[in-house]
Amino acid sequence: MQHPVLTIARFSLLEAVRGKILWIMAALLLFAVFLAFFIGQTTLTETRETQVALMAGFLRLSSVLVIIFFVVSSISRDFQDKSVELLFSISMPRYQVFLGKFFGFSLLALSAAIIFSTGLVFYSDVSVVLFWALSLWCELTLVALISLIFILSLEHVAMSLVASIGAYALMRFMPAIQSMGDGPFQDSLFNQLMNKMLDLIDLLLPRLDHFVQSSWLVKGSAAEIDVIYFLLEFVLFVCLFVLVGVIDLKRKAI
């Protein structure tokens, strides 16, 4: 008999497949290829570099949005169908439900990374594309995990979407926000307090600015990719977020 975690993961992935999410990803990839071709016709030099950077950036952003929308809508539907109540009523620990959902969404993130990276193989070195895909999978898995925590906690679609997208923006732009706070005229008590708060938030969120970078594909060299850094960051924050999600789910009254 299959482990309950794997069963839930399989059904989460099946829901994505039947919901034509993979087709949406294929359509996005097709659009990105068209975009690259179009841009290639307008550039004067460095055509490949421009094509690959725009394609990679577009695919990263769109995959993040697809994952956030899917995770939030899927769990929201579970709440509406009373599937969550059903899962919690059977003799299965809640952490297994959480892990099952998380693994399912992580597999969907893997599918997205594989589909999107196939289009980039024609524009950059294969080994670099593989690192890019690995990094995208890590980023999407973290995004899926955060979205899962938000929707399970807030149970409200619009609020969860805004919170997930906001958290993603914070994870991507945190160094820039922090550097703005470190300006020469920012020594007031309020600014110092804000800076401390930003530093605290920074410790609670992964630094996604070290993850997927279009510049890797532009340069076509894997030498500059700090794989150890983003893998370690990924493992640490997956553990942290899973614990947050499990604890939150355990105390939840259904």
Binding site for other proteins (CB under 8 A): 39, 42-46, 49-50, 53-54, 56-57, 60, 172-173, 175-176, 179-180, 209, 212-215, 217-218
CB of 202 to other proteins, least distance (A): 13
CB of 48 to other proteins, least distance (A): 11
Nearer to other proteins, 94 or 210 (CB): 210
Q: What number of residues does the chain have? A: 254
CB of 78 to other proteins, least distance (A): 32
Nearer to other proteins, 23 or 34 (CB): 34
Nearer to other proteins, 102 or 132 (CB): 132
What dihedral angle (degrees, nearest 10) is formed by the CA atoms of 128, 57, 176, 210? -20
What is the Rg, in whole angstroms, of the alpha carbon atoms belonging to the chain?
A: 20
Cβ burial of 113 (10 Å; 0-12, 13-18, 19+) is buried
Q: Give the whole-angstrom CA distance, residue 179 versus residue 202.
A: 12
Geometric angle at alpha carbon 205, from 200 and 208, rounded to 5°? 130
Contact in structure between 137 and 238 (CB atoms under 8 Å):
no
Nearer to other proteins, 12 or 124 (CB): 124
CB of 50 to other proteins, least distance (A): 5
